[in-house]
Chain A
Amino acid sequence: MRIFNRIVMILLLAGLFVLGVYMVVYAFELFGYSLGSLPFSGFSDGLQGFANDVEQNSLSVIAMIILVLLVFLGLFLLIAELKPPAPSRVRMGNGTYTTRRVVEEEVSAVADEVPGVLGSSVNAKAQRRPGAQVDVEGRVRRGDDVGSIRSGLRSTVQEHLSSRGVPVSKLNVKLVEADPRQTKTRVQ
């Protein structure tokens, strides 16, 4: 949400700046512009018409759909804003932390050694509880025994991280068929 908040704030402040410039230009009647030339009447008429439609419960279907979507959007943004940010470090135990990069490098080092795995990509996420969520994507040849490679990869990663003392709260292993000419290693 931090990036989203930043984008929203930049857009909001840029909009306020532009409005401020317009206000100065119109208020001091610079460059031939004046407040009297602004189309306020049309805007206020439209707003009044919308308020009347709401009071009389005669809103169009599209207007109602847009309002409902706005409610859901607001609710989603509120929940996303209230949700505490994910921790940046992986908790290993009492007062010991490591970085996600360390976990990713450790997993990547052993994943590529598993027979049948031609290459891998690893993503580790820190969680509030001890341990990391590790997503491993292994690249295998077409026609290989995916089941045995998956179980081998899973057990190898678990054993290695366990020997290092890095707890894993969740390990997701995904295998994708890849062209050996485009992988890190062609033969295992």
Chain B
Amino acid sequence: MGRGRFVEAATYEGSEKVSGVIVGPEELEIHIVTRYPLPRPIPDIAESIRERVAPEAGGRKTTVVVEDVEVAADENL
């Protein structure tokens, strides 16, 4: 999960803080970090995430924000 530039991508509920997700009354924002090699184009990955979270989103408009593309560490090195 991405956390935003200043860790602003978070939701506070009670005493708990969930980073990477901003849950609003009508909107849901999911911040992610993708990793190379990308299995599919970024919009397809975002669509999969949207489909996956749709049952839990409660009808909120879901926005996916790709914050970074990381290079996976090569285990053979």
B10 at the interface (CB under 8 A from A): no
A165-B43 in contact given A95-B63, A95-B64, A96-B64 (Cβ < 8 Å)? yes
A97 at the interface (CB under 8 A from B): yes
User: In the bound complex, what is the Cα–Cα distance between A97 and B65 (angstroms)?
Assistant: 5
Asked whether, in the complex, the Cβ of A95 is within 8 Å of the Cβ of B68, the reply is no
Give which listed residue, B41, B64, B69, contacts A97 with CB less than 8 A.
B64
| Nearest chain B CB to A101 CB, angstrom units | 7
Asked whether, in the complex, the Cβ of B41 is within 8 Å of the Cβ of A95, the reply is no
Asked whether, in the complex, the Cβ of B65 is within 8 Å of the Cβ of A164, the reply is no
User: In the bound complex, what is the Cα–Cα distance between A80 and B1 (angstroms)?
Assistant: 36
A163 at the interface (CB under 8 A from B): yes
Main secondary structure of the interface of A (DSSP, over half): mixed
| Nearest chain B CB to A169 CB, angstrom units | 15
- B residues less than 8 Å from A8 (CB atoms): none
Q: Mark A82-114, 1 if CB is under 8 A from B, else 0.
A: 000000010011011111011001100000000
Interface size class of B (residues with CB under 8 A): 10 to 19
Asked whether, in the complex, the Cβ of B42 is within 8 Å of the Cβ of A92, the reply is yes
- A residues less than 8 Å from B46 (CB atoms): 92-93, 95-96
Asked whether, in the complex, the Cβ of A95 is within 8 Å of the Cβ of B62, the reply is yes
| Nearest chain A CB to B22 CB, angstrom units | 13
B38 at the interface (CB under 8 A from A): yes
Please provide the chain B residues from 41 to 65 with a CB less than 8 Å away from any CB of chain A in the complex: 41-44, 46-47, 50, 61-65
Chain A CB within 10 A, most for which of B38, B41, B61, B62:
B41
What residue of chain B has the Cβ atom nearest to residue A166's Cβ? B42
| Nearest chain B CB to A58 CB, angstrom units | 58
Asked whether, in the complex, the Cβ of B69 is within 8 Å of the Cβ of A96, the reply is no
What residue of chain A has the Cβ atom nearest to residue B44's Cβ? A165
Please name 5 pairs of A and B residues whose Cβ atoms are closer than 8 Å in the assembled complex, sorted by A.
A92-B46, A95-B50, A99-B68, A102-B68, A164-B38
Nearest 10 interchain pairs by C-beta: A165-B41, A98-B66, A96-B46, A165-B43, A165-B42, A97-B65, A93-B43, A95-B63, A96-B64, A96-B43
